[in-house]
Amino acid sequence: MTNPANRLVFFDTTLRDGEQSPGCSMTTQEKLSMAHALEDLGVDIIEAGFAMASEGDFAAIATITQAIRTPRITSLARAKREDIEMAARALEHADRARIHVFLASSDLHLEYKLKMSREQALIQTGESVRQARALVDDIEFSPEDATRADRDFLVEMVRIAVEAGATTINMPDTVGYSTPEEYGKMFREVRQRIPAIDQQGVILSSHCHDDLGLAVANSLSAVQNGARQVECTINGVGERAGNAALEEIAAALFVRADYYGISTGIKLDKLNPTSQTLAQLITFGPSPNKAIVGANAFAHESGIHQHGMLANPLCYEIMTPESVGASKTNLVLGKHSGRAALRHRIEQLGYTLDREELQHTYYRFVALADRKKNIYDQDLIGLLPQQIRDRKAATYID
């Protein structure tokens, strides 16, 4: 799978890694609904599940392959013959299939989880990738826990996977341990030490978890250092603290196109609707302060901020809400709001106030806001002096 140097592939694993987290389990029909939303969003690859994990996962992958045509569909598989064969069967109706093989690379995982030596892991890497390549043309290999693996051993494992026919190499920060500088350096070093990666057009991929809150930053660092695929999820759902959030990576590349110079196939105005689709299918939505798709992402309560927004939205918003599919900027009236926002909302409700009337109404508003968390339009109307309400009523009579 070749890819232009400045084009980033979005590999969405909401239906696999995302679904593995508590509260995110989906039925086959729910997975299909989400897959359609991801296709509309413009993701390049959908990791539809882990075929060997359950009959439900197998059925979901098979169903998605028959309904989704544009994105490439992939199934996760351990570096085991039975997993790989099961993945191939689940993908047999896909227009474009990928098998995603993974095997632990850190000594910690090899010793305590798999009871396997480094030598055994290298042999199994080559055998599993060759087996998968005999079944489909597009193979991704992931050395699990790459960021905690011995670097020389990691390079050797990746080299063997490339020689065996892997077309994408994903180097995951499985436990969210790395930092942006470290993670980027790993990608640079692996590319430098394995010339075949660039010579054969092998795509390097990032897969980052958010245990230290660095998943998106690490993913972007990988992109700066040669990764041309990012593995991510809608709303950042995933194991433990979650995965890198697709919407944050896509928005960062758009807003800072001057810095990254990377193109994608993501339709930004579908980000918010896709986030809402996922929230309806699982047991929770994004937190209010979640970047890009949170309820407060384009909300302003501070009086200084509201005044700036009314003067020029660029003062406090680096993208428009419409650009990411949100409805509008929301100037929230609360105890931190100023006169400008209060006047703006009252005028939207059809009332005009002179300076003295605004001052009087503002004092009453602040007193109410100190006692009440949510201020509604009816509250504002109730604060207005009677003569102002009578003035509006008179205009209707006239």
Inform me whether the pLDDT recorded for 215 exceeds 90: yes
Inform me whether the pLDDT recorded for 318 exceeds 90: no
pTM: 0.87
Inform me whether the pLDDT recorded for 4 exceeds 80: no
What integer pLDDT is reported at residue 397 of this predicted model?
Answer: 45
The mean pLDDT value for 122-147 works out to 98
Inform me whether the pLDDT recorded for 309 exceeds 90: no
Query: Quick one: which of 398, 2, 365, 393 has its CA closest to 197?
Result: 2
What integer pLDDT is reported at residue 18 of this predicted model?
Answer: 97
Contact, 238 vs 209, CB < 8 A? yes
Inform me whether the pLDDT recorded for 312 exceeds 80: yes
Distance CA 292, CA 203 (A): 28
Q: Which residue has the higher pLDDT, 346 or 200?
A: 200
The mean pLDDT value for 296-305 works out to 77
- pLDDT, one tens digit per residue, over 230-262 is 999 999 999 999 999 999 999 999 999 999 999
The mean pLDDT value for 369-386 works out to 83
What integer pLDDT is reported at residue 398 of this predicted model?
Answer: 47
What tokens appear for 177 in the block? 């341990």
Number of C-alpha atoms within 13 angstroms, CB side, residue 326? 19
Inform me whether the pLDDT recorded for 313 exceeds 90: no
For the packed helices 28-41 and 271-281, what is the interaxial angle rounded to 10 degrees? 170
What tokens appear for 264 in the block? 């994608």
Q: Could you tell me the pLDDT band of residue 349, with boundaries at 50, 70 and 90?
A: confident
Q: What is the dihedral of CA 155, 20, 15, 257, to 10 degrees?
A: -60
The per-residue pLDDT of the chain, averaged, comes to 93
Contact, 358 vs 343, CB < 8 A? yes
Distance CA 44, CA 46 (A): 7
Q: Could you tell me the pLDDT band of residue 372, with boundaries at 50, 70 and 90?
A: confident
Share above pLDDT 90 across residues of the chain, in percent, rounded to a whole number: 74
- pLDDT, one tens digit per residue, over 40-79 is 999 999 999 999 999 999 999 999 999 999 999 999 999 9
The mean pLDDT value for 303-313 works out to 78
For the chain, the farthest-separated pair of C-alpha atoms sits apart, in whole angstroms, at: 91
Domains in the chain, ordered, with CATH?
Answer: 9-281 (3.20.20.70), 299-397 (no CATH)
Inform me whether the pLDDT recorded for 97 exceeds 50: yes
The mean pLDDT value for 170-182 works out to 98
The mean pLDDT value for 264-273 works out to 97
What integer pLDDT is reported at residue 396 of this predicted model?
Answer: 45
Distance CA 230, CA 223 (A): 8
